[in-house]
Amino acid sequence: MVTNRFRMLSNAVCIGMLLVLLAGALVTNTGSGRGCGDDWPLCHGKFIPAYTLESLIEYTHRAVSGIVGLLVLALFIVVIRHYRQHREALFYSGTALFFTIVQALLGAAAVMWPQSPPVMALHFGFSVLAFASTMLMVLWAYRMRRPTDEQTSKPVVPRTLFKLSLLAFVYIYIIIYIGAFIRHTKSSGGCLGWPLCNGELIPEISGAAGIVFIHRIAALLFLIGVTALAVYINKQTEHKGLRKSGAWIVGLVVAQVFSGALVTWTIGDDKSFIFTSLLHNLIISVLFGLLADLCIRSWKLSKGGS
**88 annotated active-site:** no
Which candidate in 54, 58, 88, 238 is catalytic? 58
Residue 25, φ and ψ in degrees, nearest 5: -65, -35
Rounded Cα–Cα distance for residues 271 and 184 (Å):
18
Q: List alpha helices for the chain, DSSP H.
A: 4-29, 53-82, 87-112, 117-143, 149-152, 159-184, 207-236, 240-265, 270-301
CB neighbour class for 303 (10 Å; exposed up to 12, middle 13-18, buried from 19): exposed
Cα angle 172, 289, 143 (rounded to 5 degrees) comes to: 150
209: three-class secondary structure by DSSP: helix
Buried b (16+ CB within 10 A) or exposed e, 114-151: ebeeeebbbbbbbbbbbbbbbbbbbbbbebbeeeebee
Active site residues: 58
